[in-house]
């Protein structure tokens, strides 16, 4: 039997990791394999780090997340604009390196709420408060045609990767399924 974990020492450590304890106490015939979904996330994060425009995009998305998540007042302002524009009421998501599918979820949330985000940033920038320059910088980023094109392009690329990741995490998925799952994801790109 194969057991998949991410590469963290507390999970796959040979002496005190969860896998070592499982093998010693419950499943002596089991073997460790690095989780394919986790490897896929690490590959995506690594690719994003190498491409400066994409790295900047995710940095801006995480700045948006921080701007609205650290202030109930700003979060409420965004929600009010979403309601006024009849945009979906979505919360922004932090794109984390180790959170599987978080990059796709964060891009998808920004795409769906882009009008509301831009409108709210305009209001924050005009209010000339402490965060006026940060809101102005984000406003420039999310009104830039190249940034918007990149945002939608990244969404289209990450969507099949996210689906692949979910299928790889399915308990019934096996390593034998991987080539077919990968081929289906590539066909959607």
Buried b (16+ CB within 10 A) or exposed e, 124-133: bbeeeeebee
pLDDT band at 131 (very low <50, low <70, confident <90, very high): low
pTM here is 0.71
Task: Look over the chain and give the mean of its residue pLDDT values, rounded to a whole number.
Answer: 80
Considering the domain architecture, whether residues 12 and 23 belong to the same structural domain is answered as yes
3-state secondary structure of 2: strand
The answer on 22 and 68 residing in a single domain is no
Domain containing 166 equals 35-188
Give the pLDDT of residue 13: 63
- 94 and 180 share a domain? yes
Averaged pLDDT for residues 61-86: 92
**84 and 30 both lie in a single domain:** no
| The total number of structural domains that make up the chain | 2
Looking at the structure, tell me whether residues 5 and 68 fall in a common domain.
no
- 4 plus 45 within the same structural domain: no
Do 79 and 133 belong to one domain? yes
The whole-number pLDDT of residue 21 equals: 65
């Amino acid at each position: 039997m194969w057991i998949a974990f991410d590469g963290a020492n507390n999970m796959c450590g040979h002496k005190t990791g969860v896998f070592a304890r499982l093998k010693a106490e419950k499943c002596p015939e089991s073997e460790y394999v690095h989780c394919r979904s986790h490897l896929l996330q690490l590959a995506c994060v690594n690719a994003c780090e190498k491409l400066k425009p994409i790295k900047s995009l995710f940095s801006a998305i995480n700045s948006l997340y921080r701007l609205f998540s650290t202030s109930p007042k700003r979060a409420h302002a965004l929600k009010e604009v979403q309601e006024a524009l009849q945009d979906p009421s979505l919360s922004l998501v932090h794109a984390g390196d180790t959170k599987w599918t978080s990059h796709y979820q964060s891009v998808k949330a920004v795409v769906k709420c882009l009008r509301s985000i831009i409108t709210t940033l305009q209001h924050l920038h005009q209010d000339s408060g402490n965060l006026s320059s940060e809101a102005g910088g984000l406003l420039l980023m999310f009104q830039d045609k190249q940034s918007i094109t990149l945002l939608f392009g990244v969404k289209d690329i990450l969507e099949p990767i996210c689906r692949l990741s979910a299928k790889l995490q399915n308990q019934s998925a096996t390593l034998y399924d991987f080539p077919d799952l990968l081929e289906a994801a590539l066909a959607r790109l």
